[in-house]
Amino acid sequence: MSSVLEYTPIEEIPQRVEKVRTAFHTRKFLNVEVRLNALRNLFFAIKDNEDLILKALKKDLNKPPSEVQLLELSPLYGDLLYIIDNLRSWVKGRKPESTPLLFKFSKPRVENIPLGTVLVIGAFNFPLLLTLQPLIGAIAGGNTVVIKQSEQTPNLAAVVTDILSDALDNELIQIVNGGIEETTALLEQKFDKVIYTGSGTVGTIIAKKCAETLTPCILELGGKSPAFITKNCRSLDLAAKRIVFAKFVNAGQTCVTVDYAQVHRDVYDEFVKLLIKWTKKLFGEASVETYGKIVNQRNTERVANIIKDSKGEVIYGGDFDIEERYISPTVVKDVTFSDSLMQGEIFGPVLPVVPFDDLDAAITNVVTYHDTPLALYAFTDNKDEIYAIQSRIRSGAFLINDAIIHVGMAQLPFGGIGSSGNGNYHGYASFKSFTHERSCLKQPFWVEPLFEAKYPPTTNFDLAVAKTAMVPPAWFGRTGKIRDWRKIFKNTMISMFLLTGLVLGLTSDKENRIPTF
């Protein structure tokens, strides 16, 4: 395996992209069994090289093996297995939910066809998961793929390059390694979809570049994801424990982490003490040697500076070492929305704790300053409070009484809204995102008399027949509640039919109902 990441020569990039684009049009990877075999090969390639992956991430980010297993490998395996288990049924397509009378004999269906060639631009914070999970979806959709890994994690990128080169057909996937120049050269090529995970600034650049060629893109960005802790939270202790884990795991470099906590004044002091308690218990041994590293010195200095500039009170942690890329788990209380910690996504192990007196005002602050976060967390058992938070704040995900765990569930789509991104993936959502839903129908010639009304000259009778066959009558009035009378009518008719059959059966002659032998 390689120990140093070799950048791809820029002059080779067009040929690499063309190789997989040409391969796509051979239909070599259209067959579902070919896709499944590729996914199986990928599964075992990762399994067989876990030790190398763990060592590489230790070198790059000082990630503890347990974090890699829990937050990168396990979700990756879960997504692979879920997709492998369901892919055959997904590629079969589906019937429309309902079909107008006129099209009953047309066999309408929706099929998912591959898009073509997909570009995956990975991220540094979870460099294995955020590179390979989109790859899984793209392969499942029948596409060919070009991968651009983060140059910020060179050891892991080198290992993944070797793993994928050995496990997958080089006409299915090509890997481009490098920095800004290589990424820029890649974006000059034509793709059928681009998925990018990273900052909003770079995401905007990529979206503009994609727009030049009308290339759709999925943007997985970030933002300041808030947690609300109200006085109606049944277990403040457990809420603090879950928030501390979500915030400080991976050195706070998690796009869906709790960026800040808004806590009701009545339980504020108690909750702050619980945060300190659980930070000590879960991350009290954190040090330069044992805790995860910030990705580079520039970001380490950035996080250190916003801590120093904060007007809040550092009640736990606050230590840093720029050269070692280390920031200790830090809790800051009495923070306001004008504070340095609240101006942008922190992306480091610092938890600002903001007090509030009125939930409505606290919600308004989120909408005003940090709308459309990637995730939204409500720690309360009051239904009205849950509804208020959920209905007023748009977010990529919404969790009650826990944080970040949703990203490990392949059955749920993962994605942002507004400034936190667009599009989603994971599991079936990946299959849908990396395919096109194509409408199909097969019209028999013998139904032509049913369609005569469409040909000119059209009479009033023709129009009446066509409208009756194509459009059901409205089952609601201009005012009042809209009820689903069609379902009610259908269920009533079925019930009446069954009841009639039962009555006839009970009242008929017994000898006529029970055959004799």
pLDDT class of 494 with cuts at 50, 70, 90: low
Model pLDDT for residues 176-218, shown as the tens digit of each residue: 999 999 999 999 999 999 999 999 999 999 999 999 999 999 9
Contact by Cβ (8 Å): 222, 345: yes
pLDDT at 508 over 70: no
Q: Which of 210, 217, 233, 255 is catalytic?
A: 255
What pLDDT shows up at residue 506?
54
What pLDDT shows up at residue 464?
84
Percent of the chain with pLDDT over 90: 83
Block residue for tokens 């007023």: 392
pLDDT class of 507 with cuts at 50, 70, 90: low
Block residue for tokens 């070009």: 146
Rg for the chain (alpha carbons), in Å? Answer: 28
What pLDDT shows up at residue 214?
96
What pLDDT shows up at residue 5?
92
Mean pLDDT of 114-119: 98
Block residue for tokens 């067009």: 14
| Active-site residue flag, 233 | no
396 to 203, 237, 375, 399, 404: CA distances (angstroms): 16, 26, 5, 10, 12
What pLDDT shows up at residue 171?
98
Q: How many whole angstroms separate alpha carbon 74 and alpha carbon 352?
A: 30
Between 249 and 493, residue with greater pLDDT: 249
What pLDDT shows up at residue 473?
80
pLDDT class of 236 with cuts at 50, 70, 90: very high
pLDDT at 137 over 60: yes
The structural domains of the chain, ordered by start, are 10-221+428-437 (3.40.605.10), 226-410 (3.40.309.10)
Mean pLDDT of 65-70: 97
What pLDDT shows up at residue 515?
45
If you write DSSP's letter for every residue of 238-295 in order, what string do you get?
HHHHHHHHHHHGGGG--TTS--EEEEEHHHHHHHHHHHHHHHHHHHTT--TTTSPPPS
Angle at 40 between CA 69 and CA 53, to 5 degrees: 30
**The 350-356 sheet, strands edge to edge:** 313-316, 330-333, 350-356, 260-264, 226-229, 376-379, 398-400
**In DSSP terms, which residues pair with 415 in a beta bridge?**
424
| Active-site residue flag, 440 | no
What pLDDT shows up at residue 356?
98
Q: How many whole angstroms separate alpha carbon 495 and alpha carbon 153?
A: 64
Model pLDDT for residues 13-63, shown as the tens digit of each residue: 999 999 999 999 999 999 999 999 999 999 999 999 999 999 999 999 999
What pLDDT shows up at residue 98?
84
Average pLDDT, the chain: 93
Q: Which of 72, 220, 345, 385 is catalytic?
A: 220
User: What pTM was computed for the model?
Assistant: 0.91
Q: How many whole angstroms separate alpha carbon 118 and alpha carbon 42?
A: 17
Closest CA to 438 of 137, 32, 108: 108
Percent of the chain with pLDDT over 70: 93
Provide the token pair at 34.
Answer: 């070919």
> Which residues make Cβ contacts (< 8 Å) with residue 201, sequence separation at least 6?
none
What pLDDT shows up at residue 32?
98
pLDDT class of 400 with cuts at 50, 70, 90: very high
What pLDDT shows up at residue 1?
41
Mean pLDDT of 461-472: 81
pLDDT at 516 over 80: no
